[in-house]
Structure 1
Amino acid sequence: MIKRIFFFISLILPFAVLQAGIVILNGLTHNYKVENGQVYKGKIAIENTDNQPQNVKIFLQDFTYHADGSINFTAPHTNDKTNTDWIRLNTNFLTLKAKEKTEVYYEITIPNQVAKPGSYWSVIIVEPVEDVKPNENKDGVNITSIVRYAIQVITDYDSENIKPDLKFESVKIDKEEGRHIAKIAIANKGEIYCKPTAAIEMYNRKNGQKVGTFSSQAMGLLPKTSKSFHIDISKIPPDKYNAVIIATDEDENAFALNVELEVKND
């Protein structure tokens, strides 16, 4: 059963803080270029910053995300590009003492034959859990989960000659907290993970004069997923504009779109 929940901030920050004082110290995206039959090793560095011990469980899931800000966590093998069968964790449960740091290790064993070139991925879920407590209303015990976070493990197989295929799904301008924000939904229709940046060049529709170029932050984009790239264009006065929107990945592959936009005076 697919769980549809809103996009965790943990997937875009360089590190994440969990409830109950758990901190992931070495990033939330682990990316590997892999070859047939090879074994790759990685680790997740975890710290309990609290003054109390903390139980943590660790497990694998598949996932995808979309430009509306949602993410789908699903059981392994739901995604046809999953690499969950390739990954082995050295533990699925641990208890960290107060202020303790530890490392969870994993191995990625690439099959001797991979179906086709491209990116394969899954997430390692790190989920703090409360201590086992008696249930006053029912027989037995309850285990209550706290906020969980996902570490992406992306394996790029035979990807040197694969180019991304980015498509613009929508462009709109919203006003948020007094600022005009261009929101550009970009989908990755290709087979390879990439990390594009969106830029927008604005031209006055009446005289053709260029009034500015603005850019978003770079964000990772897995195959068959999409994200909304936000660009602050508050410096542009209200008017009607022609715009060129350009998405450029880390290898300078570029995709462009011409649109007409209106910055409203509201």
Structure 2
Amino acid sequence: MIKRIFFFISLLIPFTFLQASIVVLNGLTHNYKVENGQVYKGKIAIENTGSKPQSVKIFLQDLSYQADGTISYTAPHTNERTNTDWIKLNTNFITLKGKEKTEVYYEITVPKQLSKPGSYWSVFIVEPVEDVKPSDSKQGVNITSIIRYAIQVITDYDAEKVKPDLKFESVKIEKEESKQIVKIAIANKGDIYSKPTASIEIYNRKTGQKMGVFSSQAMGLLPKTSKSYHIDLNKIPPDQYNAVIIATDEDENAFALNVELEVKND
């Protein structure tokens, strides 16, 4: 049987590239379907929207994140499921003239044999830097970083052999900008990347009346990571409720949790 791998690239953080006059032109997600042991080519298309020259360096790191907001970018091989050794860039440093576009090419060489099915991943760090300038105080030059960006590279190996495993870590209601927000921490305890949506069905605790179903945005979860999924409950009047929280991924795998909620006035 031919083994297949699926991988995609997506921008991990918001498009603050605009602050450094750098934008990515070829989308936030690139999907590929590849065969075991083959080499596949991709590119990152970049434009300098400013009028001045802009230098950019690109390199690979490992990635992990948790529901408390912690994001860790670490050296390759920190993650036992890293795929940094599979990926080669044609260059690690470019300089774009004002309004110039360019493409950075990479190759992914899929190993002929992998011992474990599931997701392997790393991130491209794309870091605009200041123009190289002579130093007034020292010999040589200084390069000062401006801001960093991360693009995930996730490779799913024999995904059909791995079942998702999502766990609810915590549920709490907090007030933000006069809105009642339920924050649901979901962890991916499995070995395969998942992109769940969290939804909540709310029932009045005394009458049993269904008050509605509310949903979060879908967000990707790498294995052994967690995120906080936020749902606006501003339409729900203050009271005590029973609720069913459901995490559903793109393949309609569902994980449920029964909870009691209290929506307060303040």
Q: Same fold (TM over 0.5)?
A: yes
* Alignment partners' CA distance in 2, 1:173 and 1:133: 51
In structure 2, the residue matched to 1:165 is: 165
Gap regions ≥5 residues in structure 2: 1-10
Partner AA of 2:35 in structure 1: E
Preserved CA contact (<8 Å) 1:33 1:157: no
Q: Which SS does the other structure have where 2:220 is aligned?
A: coil
In structure 1, the residue matched to 2:174 is: 174
Shift of 1:161: 2.8
* Alignment partners' CA distance in 2, 1:214 and 1:139: 61
Whether 2:115 is the aligned partner of 1:103: answer no
Shift of 1:189: 0.4
What does the per-residue CA deviation read over 1:133-163, in whole Å, with 9 as the maximum and x for residues that have no partner?
3333444432110111011011111112322
What does the per-residue CA deviation read over 1:155-213, in whole Å, with 9 as the maximum and x for residues that have no partner?
11111232210000000001000100110000000011111000001111111111111
What does the per-residue CA deviation read over 1:211-246, in whole Å, with 9 as the maximum and x for residues that have no partner?
111000001111000000000010000111111000
Preserved CA contact (<8 Å) 1:18 1:149: no
Shift of 1:111: 1.0
Matched positions, count: 256
In structure 2, the residue matched to 1:20 is: 20
Deviates more, 1:127-136 or 1:56-65: 127-136
CA RMSD of aligned residues (A): 1.5
Shift of 1:55: 0.5
Summarize the alignment of residues 139-150 of structure 1 with structure 2, pairs less than 5 Å apart: 139-150=139-150
Summarize the alignment of residues 12-91 of structure 1 with structure 2, pairs less than 5 Å apart: 12-13=13-14, 17-91=17-91
Q: Which SS does the other structure have where 1:17 is aligned?
A: helix
Partner AA of 1:214 in structure 2: F
CA 1:147 to 1:12, structure 2 compared with 1: closer, same or farther past 3 Å?
A: closer
CA 1:144 to 1:103, structure 2 compared with 1: closer, same or farther past 3 Å?
A: same
Shift of 1:75: 0.3
Shift of 1:29: 4.3
Summarize the alignment of residues 182-193 of structure 1 with structure 2, pairs less than 5 Å apart: 182-193=182-193
Shift of 1:19: 3.1
* Alignment partners' CA distance in 2, 1:34 and 1:157: 10
Preserved CA contact (<8 Å) 1:43 1:106: yes
* TM-score, normalised with respect to structure 2: 0.92
In structure 2, the residue matched to 1:259 is: 259
Gap regions ≥5 residues in structure 1: 1-9
Q: Which SS does the other structure have where 1:160 is aligned?
A: helix
* Alignment partners' CA distance in 1, 2:32 and 2:167: 25
* Alignment partners' CA distance in 1, 2:172 and 2:122: 31
In structure 2, the residue matched to 1:4 is: none
Preserved CA contact (<8 Å) 2:53 2:131: no
Preserved CA contact (<8 Å) 2:198 2:218: yes
* TM-score, normalised with respect to structure 1: 0.92
